[in-house]
Structure 1
């Protein structure tokens, strides 16, 4: 008797949640290393002017003026991946918006504290600036650390409440120049990232991966950048923080969102060559926009001109494309393993220099002038940036990791 034929039951594989891409992490790591490097240039003398920030009112940019916009662009590149991963895990739009708001507030709080530390009156406050920064950064780590699942929740809660209490105390005792009180003099680098993230993240959530909506939003912020530079925006828009209403910073982040969405489209189809041609074409168009708009408003980071938005976006796209071919296509991700912590725990890496500067000052450690001059000095700053990455990695291995 013939055995009945059996029909194989297809196995449905669960959707793979992808919220990390090697090339994006490596680009973020390299950008953070550059950020620490250029932030340390203040300690050097006799170095090339093109490495530093271009002064206000000057038409042009230096290396230091390219790093921050690149980081904003990379924030945007991570957004669609993160939002899609959370959606696949079951997060609703309400939950996603709550996460975006909480993360934005955290970045704003950190930015404002570090900005106030820059202009602190140490005598009136009763604390040296470096101690202020260390205490504030220590509180940030306590508040936004990734605690083990086995940690007692009451101990975690107490640790966070102590951190909040200390931050409130620091704000209350603070005195700045001319006896000024703790205030949002400006938002600082982290605060500007917070506002840019807020604007781009909300668009990303509501766009639901619709390229037309994302491109339209990017065009809208680019036009807003031009209108702001032309000083023709209505007075009523001043109630919106300038980091958003100015258009440029959110435009940088939205550019990253658009490129990341295109990247996912081409990656799913395995069409790296066409993606590369598209990215190069987009970069050339952006460079053209930069050259054209520069004739009206100049090229300036401090003025956040449209030309700066377009040019830095193009640079970052080209850098990402090169790293993608080296890492994802060429399989060379292992070349960058040693800088991985700067790409996966970027916030902690950014805070490390505040502890390092305080440590060397309190111990009265000073390098010889010969190590702070010219090419030798630049090597020192590069090694310092790499040391911060190494420290971040060591802290990660003992369970200290930040996540907003």
Structure 2
């Protein structure tokens, strides 16, 4: 017979809340799509989202948990003392990349199958994916931003191939992109904080010299970064007007780092599933192209920053919806003071207040992605474009605080 003390501890557990298909359980999302999408688009998108919701539960959710339990590891040297700087990620992280390609989590926005509604379709899939992604929504944000820059620059020769990879539905061809801006002297203040120097080579490529202090998605296939172009005497121009935007391949044809050394991986409080590193850029790297006009790096990268902000809003709103879903389900199971939590008025009042905030944030997000879809298909009025420019930073601030 179990001792009395142990019998008491055996019952000290709570029943785990369980949620089902996130699309089918999100009444607000379904009603919004019914109210706004054309009938033919609605039919196809609804079928896709129902199927995707099932895949999230059966496949993506366990992979996301595995990513959280197995963060990346840096192996700087091989057994013979040679510098390799290999960032090892778990198999689940690599599977997430394949799923992102198959589901078109970047590509759907650029294929424009549904014209201006394509961006909404993509945003809704990211909204459903975010809470189960195991942190992979972060590299997708930067990949989407890189594709946006390539498109906004008119797909110059050095970026056409990259754009095709960034927007591919084929897992074998799909690339992710990093966004390497932050240096030791500052975070958002890239105008005065960027020390990386680019020296032009006779073949038109550049060699970059510098230290990137915080590089997210360090295991990505390519990256966009800022640097100051040095003239023949080695002088550089300070301030934002001295910054240009560069495209670089992270690895060469043999899979080795392309003139990059990994100093260390960041020991972060959050998003530990994603490799964020301190990187040295040195001279021994071909395939580094200037993709903006000289001195127009900050202006060129602004479209990438706006896409990243929208992804930030998507992640915040998705987290709000996820927390409310779990709270409501838990309230149907947990008994306190002789009755279920759902039967306590104050408890339900708190959930109701959270629901109102989440709905407001969701509708704000939908307004932004609809405006973005109009802008990307040349259907936005001047007022639409001004409103989009205003709402993106406001929404990021508001939803981030919530």
TM-score normalised by L of structure 2: 0.30
Q: Which has the higher helix share?
A: 1
Q: Which has the higher strand share?
A: 2
TM-score normalised by L of structure 1: 0.30
